[in-house]
């Protein structure tokens, strides 16, 4: 039997370890060389050991809500004339797909015998998930978070601290996700003997893109079986939002060899012509580069300096994109597109009102794109959206975007009480 | 080439100094005055850091310097203009120091040409491991530029050997784990590590990261050929000014040379 495209991701030509086409690799300070090699070795061993995967699936079944269900959006489907399904990653423990990767790496850390974990976080979901994992496994935990994101996502900071993590507010650079990654790498360069860096997405140096894809592939494996059981056929198209790209990698990995259109939806921000977005592939402001340990499309200037990005959702507001996704774009396997902040807010409201499901702003990008494209689809098509997370965390941002007067009044009163 | 220059210099003094500055921070005028001080003090080698927006190997002092330099409009063209000017004025060899993306964006051939034209003698790229550097290094070698590679105390024997095979000019030994800028406790383990590196290469050996005092230099003599000083200098420039900076360099140079 020939190997699947997913299995082939794990095979590298000699001297090209960690590369997918021209993307990926491990461009790291030499001090981290042995640490990264050790991690690549440990991951390689674990990924060949079926009991490791079985332990992982078992853990996710008892600790999170796996397999997460698929919901048919009956009202939306009627309204738009296509059958819209959601893979409910929002029902995971801690509220998003992030916990999959984190618990998997937690098991790997135990195998490697390390005692401390560090992580970067943008929206805060990965930070909360990592702090949760650390509490459960008994690891010390430090989370790096851009100061701007600390402001945007205060509730998540609160929960990380409650879970016993130390949260470091990063004041360097643009004070967002990319700067949190730099800070975590700097910590790791000094502490690697007992510390594992739990990178939250399919980016960074090899083996992270592959390893995170491996853990997140549980989404695609489940979804494929579920759709076959539910519908007796595969969906026509699958939509997922793409920041770094971990939820998209997870769901797409189950369908790489199928006749299913895969659509990655990036953050269109204020519009692709505004220079205020985070659309690395769908936009025109990115080109191949090397930063943060890997090669991919980065939003950068002519000299190779990274530029500021913008998105209404902290989780998509990132300069780079997973190298496996960049490669699958080049091969034509994944189509990339973008949804703007305004389209996302509209889609958010529609899903909440029509289906009673509160999506994260990140996941709302995928929903927005489906609603935009529904007119051009054939009636009766099956559309699967990876609903990567729930929207509770976004209450401040969304209430502000919706200009909710009662919420503003509530905040004013709370601030008054606190003073 | 650098190796010959360094070995010749070592005939008259036991330890050479390499100094560092982030081009564009605090300003190009400050950089120029720093180079004048380095020249007066008799510094042997100078690395000019090209600022980058994601300096993952640097500590807080240089992270800020990179960021502010970029905010003040530092870019690639201005960097090479500055190097060209410095090369005309000063005799010490100048090295490019920085991160890979600006090099990658310019293209390997164009980077080597720009560096050569500006009078640079080689480069240190903090996030370009030897296995990804070969195309650039070969091109550089053909143009008479030296790719400087880094050895670190965490490297295995096999890895150190691989680095040694790719090295040119001199070997930059990182003194400890972590990023630039924090203090290194120089002890027997650093000496042992330097000996380990020395056995694998006939090139001169430089030691950097956390080098600060004349005591550090005294300890390195006989074990390293070059002491590399970065953050300590910038700290003095910012907190104590030019006179103190020149005094510091002169004191360090005297300690190194005797």
User: Both A113 and A254 in a single domain?
Assistant: no
The answer to whether the bond into A383 is cis (omega within 30° of 0) is no
Identify the H or E element spanning A46: helix A33-47
Which residues 239-298 of A have a C-beta within 8 angstroms of B?
Answer: 287, 289-293, 298
> What Cα–Cα distance (Å) separates residue A248 from each residue in A97, A149, A309?
10, 22, 20
What is the reported pLDDT for A154?
A: 87
Active site positions of B, annotated: 47, 58
Find tokens 């480069």 and name the residue: B123
Q: Do A300 and B163 touch (CB under 8 A)?
A: no
Q: Do B150 and A30 touch (CB under 8 A)?
A: yes
Written as six digits, the tokens of B124 are 């240190």
Min Cα–Cα distance to chain B from A174, Å:
9
Q: Do B154 and A185 touch (CB under 8 A)?
A: no
Which strands sit side by side in the sheet containing A140-146, from one edge to the other? A166-170, A140-146, A116-121, A195-197
User: Both A110 and A39 in a single domain?
Assistant: yes
User: Both A302 and A167 in a single domain?
Assistant: no
Residue A418, pLDDT > 80, answer no
User: For B39-53, what is the mean pLDDT?
Assistant: 98
User: For A325-352, what is the mean pLDDT?
Assistant: 98
CB contacts, 8 Å: A185 with chain B: 56
Mean pLDDT of all residues belonging to chain A: 95
Catalytic residue among A33, A73, A93, A126: A73
Task: Select from B100, B102, B177 the Cβ nearest to the Cβ of A189.
Answer: B177
Min Cα–Cα distance to chain A from B72, Å:
13
CB contacts, 8 Å: B56 with chain A: 29, 182, 185-186, 189, 292-293
Residue A153, pLDDT > 90, answer no
Cβ(A19)–Cβ(A12) below 8 Å: yes
**By CA distance, what is A319's nearest residue in B?**
B54
User: Both A267 and A394 in a single domain?
Assistant: yes
pLDDT band at B86 (very low <50, low <70, confident <90, very high): very high
Min Cα–Cα distance to chain A from B104, Å:
7
Task: Select from A27, A292, A302 the Cβ nearest to the Cβ of B132.
Answer: A27
* B127, B131, B160, best to mutate vs chain A, most A CBs in 10 Å: B127
The residues with which B118 forms a beta bridge, in sequence order, are none
**By CA distance, what is A204's nearest residue in B?**
B56
What is the reported pLDDT for A123?
A: 78
**By CA distance, what is A290's nearest residue in B?**
B101
The answer to whether the bond into B26 is cis (omega within 30° of 0) is yes
Written as six digits, the tokens of A159 are 């929960």
pLDDT band at B185 (very low <50, low <70, confident <90, very high): confident
Residue A85, pLDDT > 90, answer yes
Give a yes or no: residue A40 inside a domain. Answer: yes
What residue ranges do the domains of chain B occupy? 2-147+212-257
Cα(B54)–Cα(A291) distance, integer angstroms: 7
Q: Do A27 and B56 touch (CB under 8 A)?
A: no
User: For A44-56, what is the mean pLDDT?
Assistant: 97
Give a yes or no: residue A15 inside a domain. Answer: no
ipTM of this predicted structure: 0.95
CB contacts, 8 Å: A304 with chain B: 52, 76, 101-106
The residues with which B20 forms a beta bridge, in sequence order, are B47
Min Cα–Cα distance to chain B from A318, Å:
13
Q: Do B179 and A186 touch (CB under 8 A)?
A: yes
Q: How far, rounded to the nearest angstrom, does the alpha carbon of residue B39 sit from its chain's CA centroid?
A: 16
Residue A1, pLDDT > 60, answer no
Question: Phi/psi at A220 (nearest 5 deg)?
Answer: -65, -40
Q: Do B56 and A15 touch (CB under 8 A)?
A: no
User: Both A193 and A269 in a single domain?
Assistant: no
Cα(A110)–Cα(B179) distance, integer angstroms: 27
Give the percent of chain A with pLDDT over 90.
88
Cα(B119)–Cα(A55) distance, integer angstroms: 59
The radius of gyration of chain B's CA atoms, rounded to the nearest angstrom, is 17
Q: Do B54 and A292 touch (CB under 8 A)?
A: yes
User: For B191-196, what is the mean pLDDT?
Assistant: 96
Q: Give the count of Cβ contacts less than 8 A between chain A and B.
A: 111
Tell me the pTM. 0.96
* A12, A17, A30, A302, best to mutate vs chain B, most B CBs in 10 Å: A30
User: Both A30 and A127 in a single domain?
Assistant: yes
> What Cα–Cα distance (Å) separates residue A314 from each residue in A133, A204, A305, B80?
22, 18, 21, 37
User: For B100-106, what is the mean pLDDT?
Assistant: 98
Q: What is the DSSP string of A49-77?
A: -HHHHHHHHHHHHHHS-PSPPEEE-HHHH
Furthest CA-CA distance within chain A:
68
Residue A176, pLDDT > 90, answer no
* 3-state SS class at A44: helix
Find, among B137, B148, B156, the residue nearest to B173 by Cα: B148
Cα(A350)–Cα(A123) distance, integer angstroms: 22
The residues with which A384 forms a beta bridge, in sequence order, are A85, A238
Q: Do A290 and B104 touch (CB under 8 A)?
A: yes
pLDDT band at A177 (very low <50, low <70, confident <90, very high): confident
User: For B25-35, what is the mean pLDDT?
Assistant: 98
CB contacts, 8 Å: B154 with chain A: 31-35, 192
Residue B206, pLDDT > 90, answer yes
Q: What is the DSSP string of B63-130?
A: HHHHHHHHHTT--HHHHHHHHHHHHHH--S-EEEEE-HHHHHHH-HHHHHHHHHHTT--EEEETT--H
Find tokens 């009102």 and name the residue: A353
Task: Select from A30, A34, A306 the Cβ nearest to the Cβ of B54.
Answer: A306
* 3-state SS class at A139: coil
CB contacts, 8 Å: B76 with chain A: 303-304
Q: What is the pLDDT of residues A300-314, one digit of tens each?
A: 999 999 999 999 988
C-beta neighbour count of B58 within 10 angstroms: 26
C-beta neighbour count of A208 within 10 angstroms: 30
Which residues 311-370 of A have a C-beta within 8 angstroms of B?
Answer: none
What is the reported pLDDT for A173?
A: 85
Q: Do B56 and A182 touch (CB under 8 A)?
A: yes
Min Cα–Cα distance to chain A from B41, Å:
31
What is the reported pLDDT for A400?
A: 86
The residue range of the domain holding A260 is 65-95+216-401
* 3-state SS class at A34: helix
User: For B122-139, what is the mean pLDDT?
Assistant: 97
Min Cα–Cα distance to chain B from A145, Å:
15
Written as six digits, the tokens of B175 are 């003194």
CATH fold, domain B2-147+212-257, is TIM Barrel (3.20.20)
Cα(A26)–Cα(B133) distance, integer angstroms: 12
Number of domains making up chain A: 2
Cβ(B229)–Cβ(B211) below 8 Å: yes
> What Cα–Cα distance (Å) separates residue B252 from each residue in A250, B38, B150, B229, B245?
56, 11, 23, 10, 11
Residues 6+ apart with CB under 8 A from A1: none
What is the reported pLDDT for A419?
A: 66
Q: Environment class of residue A381 by beta-carbon count within 10 Å: exposed (0-12), middle (13-18) or buried (19+)?
A: middle
Q: Which residue has the higher pLDDT, A392 or A119?
A: A119
CB contacts, 8 Å: A186 with chain B: 56-59, 178-179
**By CA distance, what is A14's nearest residue in B?**
B131
Q: Which residue has the higher pLDDT, A167 or A419?
A: A167
What is the reported pLDDT for B254?
A: 97
User: Both A248 and A178 in a single domain?
Assistant: no
> What Cα–Cα distance (Å) separates residue B237 from each residue in A150, B61, B95, B231, B243?
33, 12, 21, 10, 9
* 3-state SS class at B197: helix
Question: Phi/psi at A167 (nearest 5 deg)?
Answer: -105, 120
Find, among A369, A251, A361, A373, the residue nearest to A316 by Cα: A361
CB contacts, 8 Å: A171 with chain B: none
Find, among A222, A195, A178, A187, the residue nearest to A89 by Cα: A222
* 3-state SS class at A232: coil
Residues 6+ apart with CB under 8 A from A7: none
Q: Do B101 and A26 touch (CB under 8 A)?
A: no
Written as six digits, the tokens of A278 are 């985070």
User: For A50-73, what is the mean pLDDT?
Assistant: 97
CATH number for the domain harbouring residue A113:
3.40.50.1100
* B54, B161, B162, best to mutate vs chain A, most A CBs in 10 Å: B54
What is the reported pLDDT for A315?
A: 85
**By CA distance, what is B76's nearest residue in A?**
A303
Cα(A409)–Cα(B4) distance, integer angstroms: 74
User: For A364-392, what is the mean pLDDT?
Assistant: 97
**By CA distance, what is A291's nearest residue in B?**
B101
Q: Do A31 and B54 touch (CB under 8 A)?
A: no
CB contacts, 8 Å: B57 with chain A: 29, 31, 186, 189
Question: Phi/psi at B119 (nearest 5 deg)?
Answer: 90, 5
Cα(B52)–Cα(B50) distance, integer angstroms: 7
Written as six digits, the tokens of A357 are 């499901």
């Amino acid at each position: 039997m020939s190997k699947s495209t997913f299995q082939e991701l794990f095979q590298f030509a000699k001297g090209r370890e960690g590369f997918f086409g021209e993307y990926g690799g491990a461009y790291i300070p030499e001090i981290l060389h042995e640490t990264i090699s050790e991690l690549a070795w440990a991951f390689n061993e674990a990924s060949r050991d079926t009991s490791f995967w079985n332990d992982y699936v078992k853990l996710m079944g008892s600790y999170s809500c796996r397999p997460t269900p698929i919901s048919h959006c009956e009202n939306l489907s009627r309204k738009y004339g296509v059958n819209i399904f959601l893979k409910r990653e929002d029902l995971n423990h801690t509220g998003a797909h992030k916990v999959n990767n984190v618990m998997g790496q937690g098991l790997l850390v135990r195998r490697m015998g390390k005692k401390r974990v560090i992580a970067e976080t943008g929206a805060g979901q990965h930070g909360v998930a990592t702090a949760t994992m650390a509490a459960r496994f008994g690891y010390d935990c430090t989370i790096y978070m851009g100061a701007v994101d600390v402001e945007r996502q205060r509730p998540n900071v609160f929960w990380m601290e409650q879970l016993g993590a130390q949260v470091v507010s990063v004041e360097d650079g643009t004070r967002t996700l990319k700067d949190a990654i730099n800070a975590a790498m700097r910590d790791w360069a000094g502490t690697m003997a007992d510390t594992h860096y739990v990178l939250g997405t399919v980016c960074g140096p090899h083996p992270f893109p592959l390893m995170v894809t491996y853990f997140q592939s549980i989404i695609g494996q489940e979804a494929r079986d579920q759709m076959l059981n539910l519908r007796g056929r595969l969906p026509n198209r699958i939509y997922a939002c793409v920041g770094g790209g971990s939820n998209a990698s997870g769901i797409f990995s189950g369908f790489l060899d199928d006749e299913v259109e895969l659509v990655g939806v990036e953050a269109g921000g204020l519009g692709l012509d505004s220079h205020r977005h985070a659309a690395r592939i769908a936009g025109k402001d990115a080109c191949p580069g090397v930063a943060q340990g890997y090669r991919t499309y980065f939003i950068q200037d002519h000299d190779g300096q990274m530029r500021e990005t913008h998105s209404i959702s902290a989780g998509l507001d990132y300069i780079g994109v997973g190298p496996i996704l960049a490669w699958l774009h080049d091969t034509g396997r994944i189509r990339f597109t973008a949804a703007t902040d305004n389209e996302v807010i509209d889609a958010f409201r529609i899903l909440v009102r029509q289906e009673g499901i509160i999506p994260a702003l990140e996941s709302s990008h995928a929903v927005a794109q489906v609603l935009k494209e529904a007119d051009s689809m054939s009636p009766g098509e099956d559309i699967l959206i990876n609903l990567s997370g729930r929207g509770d965390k976004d209450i401040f941002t969304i209430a502000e975007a919706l200009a909710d007067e009662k919420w503003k009044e509530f905040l004013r009163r709370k601030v008054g009480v606190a003073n | 080439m650098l190796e010959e220059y360094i070995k010749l210099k070592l005939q008259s003094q036991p330890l050479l100094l390499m100094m560092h500055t982030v081009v564009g921070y605090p300003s190009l005028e400050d950089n120029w005055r720093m180079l004048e001080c380095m020249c007066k003090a008799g510094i042997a080698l100078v690395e000019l850091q090209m600022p980058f927006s994601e300096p993952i190997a640097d500590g807080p002092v240089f992270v800020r310097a990179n960021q502010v330099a970029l905010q003040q409009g530092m870019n690639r063209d201005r960097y090479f203009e500055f190097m060209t000017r410095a090369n005309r004025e000063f005799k010490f060899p100048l090295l490019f120091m920085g991160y890979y993306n600006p090099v990658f964006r310019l293209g390997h051939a164009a980077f080597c040409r720009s560096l050569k034209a500006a009078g640079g003698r080689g480069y240190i790229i903090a996030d370009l491991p030897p296995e990804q550097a070969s195309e650039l290094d070969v091109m550089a070698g053909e143009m008479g530029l030296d790719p400087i590679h880094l050895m670190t105390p965490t490297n295995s024997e096999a890895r150190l050997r691989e680095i040694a095979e790719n090295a040119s000019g001199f070997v930059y030994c990182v003194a400890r784990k972590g990023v630039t800028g924090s203090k290194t406790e120089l002890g027997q383990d650093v000496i042992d590590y330097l000996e380990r590196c020395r056995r694998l290469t006939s090139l001169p050996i430089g030691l950097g990261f956390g080098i600060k005092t004349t005591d550090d230099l005294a300890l390195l003599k006989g074990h390293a050929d070059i002491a590399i000083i970065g953050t300590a200098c910038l700290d003095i420039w910012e907190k104590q000014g030019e006179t103190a900076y020149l005094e510091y360099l002169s004191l360090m140079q005297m300690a190194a040379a005797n």
